[in-house]
């Protein structure tokens, strides 16, 4: 033991103008269920356990710009989502409400924006 207390990452939290709306998008995209749901806070749990995704309403939320542009709000993080079939996953993401980003930096990765503008990547190994 290195003297460090037990620490467990339980979720990544995404701010949004409407937590419920953004959580609904990720429910459609990932197929995850809500484990907690309040007016301004929603938690989605991964089916196999592990860290989930949480969403909180932030009244002052400003949509990020990707790729980053000088003087514009920058993303603070993004999600990487591994898929088996990139074409099918892209069609699913679009149907769920995602927007394909204009700039695509890699051949085996597709960058999408969720309804609140958070970038996420679909990729194959």
Q: What is the pLDDT along the chain (125 residues), one digit of tens a residue?
A: 688 999 999 999 999 999 999 999 999 999 999 999 999 999 999 999 999 999 999 999 999 998 988 999 988 899 999 999 999 999 999 999 999 999 999 999 999 999 999 999 999 98
**Confidence (pLDDT) at 47:** 92
Q: How far apart are the first and last CA of the chain?
A: 34
**Confidence (pLDDT) at 41:** 98
**Confidence (pLDDT) at 75:** 83
- What residues have CB less than 8 Å from 51, skipping those under 6 apart? 9, 10, 11, 12
Asked whether the whole model's pTM tops 0.75, one would answer yes
């Amino acid at each position: 033991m290195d003297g460090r207390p037990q620490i467990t990452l339980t979720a990544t939290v995404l701010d949004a103008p409407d937590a419920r709306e953004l959580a609904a998008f990720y429910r459609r995209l990932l197929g995850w269920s809500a484990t907690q749901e309040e007016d301004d806070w929603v938690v989605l749990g991964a089916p196999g356990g592990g860290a989930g995704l949480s969403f909180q309403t932030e009244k002052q939320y400003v949509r990020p710009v990707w790729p980053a542009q000088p003087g514009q709000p920058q993303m603070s993080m993004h999600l990487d989502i591994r898929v088996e079939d990139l074409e099918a996953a892209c069609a699913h993401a679009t149907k769920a409400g995602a927007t394909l980003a204009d700039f695509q930096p890699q051949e085996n990765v597709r960058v999408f924006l969720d309804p609140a503008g958070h970038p996420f990547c679909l990729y194959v190994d």
